[in-house]
Structure 1
Amino acid sequence: MTTGPPSRSDRFDEVAQAAGRAFRLLPATPHDRQPAGRGSGQRIPHRITTDPEAVERDLMKLVLTLVELLRQLMERQALRRVEAGDLTEEQEEELGATLMALHDRMTDLCTRYGLTMQDLNLDLGPLGSLLPRAE
């Protein structure tokens, strides 16, 4: 007895089950680590660490990295506008004070979550680092 090709809904169910198996998240254990690369000394887990404190810290690291990137972009744009003479002296002072306050708040948040500003500079491999080096 031959059956026809599987129905579209059966195929979707099969794909959904395969995806569920492939993306099942299991907590990392100490023995789930492998060498990251030659001579690096770092180890990369095979599984995701689901410790709530680690997840919160890593989420804050990601958020602060994005905020720092935007802060640096705004700072560069502000410098361009100042150099072009687009701002009044009062606007320049206000902008400078705002950017300094944002930098101070970023430093406070990094301290609160046990991060440094260097921790926010993600390594993008062959593209280099995400943020320009601090001068």
Structure 2
Amino acid sequence: MNDEADPAPGERRPPPEPPPSLRRAGAALNDAFRLLQAPPAPADEPPRPARRLRTDHESVEEDLLKLVLTVVELLRQLIERQALRRVDAGDLTDDQEEELGATLMALHDALSDLCAEHGYTLQDLNLDLGPLGPLLPRED
């Protein structure tokens, strides 16, 4: 049986205590972030504060979900490009082309549905990598 009393309506139960291995990993990450310094600002500019991570439960969950959806979309686009190369090279039969096309369309639809279910669009998954540009190529 649970020794803890149920929380009052509107209150949240504190999360369970993480296992020791997870606490050690968290402590190591905490030390790494503490040691990480912002790059030096040019002499003619005032110093900027280091960027902070939002670590509240909801934002971490949402960011992880968005990252997973982004990786799935990246893989889908890579598979689609490889399929187009094989079609152009004539490596596939007509039946294989049909099946591959239907599968890729179903994957696209499923990913679109997942994004919509969580309030995203496929364009939201295109992470900006700063000077490297967007993660995903723009689809025309």
Whether 2:122 is the aligned partner of 1:123: answer: no
Task: Specify every segment of 5 or more residues in structure 1 that has no aligned partner in the other structure, as ranges.
Answer: 1-16, 25-43
Report the count of equivalent residues.
Answer: 100
1:61-99: per-residue Cα shift (whole Å, max 9, x none)? 100111111100100000010011100111101100100
Q: Which segments of 5 or more consecutive residues in structure 2 lack a partner in the other structure?
A: 1-26, 35-48
Superposition map of 1:1-135 within 5 A: 20-21=30-31, 23=33, 46-135=51-140
Amino-acid identity (%): 71
The alignment's C-alpha RMSD in Å is 2.5
User: For the structure 1 residues 18 and 51, does the alpha-carbon distance in structure 2 shift closer, same or farther, using more than 3 Å as the test?
Assistant: closer
Q: Which has the larger radius of gyration?
A: 1
Q: Secondary structure at the match of 1:130?
A: coil
Give the TM-score normalised by structure 2: 0.63
SS in 2 for 1:78: helix
Judging changes above 3 Å, is the alpha-carbon distance between structure 1 residues 117 and 45 closer, same or farther for their aligned structure 2 residues? farther
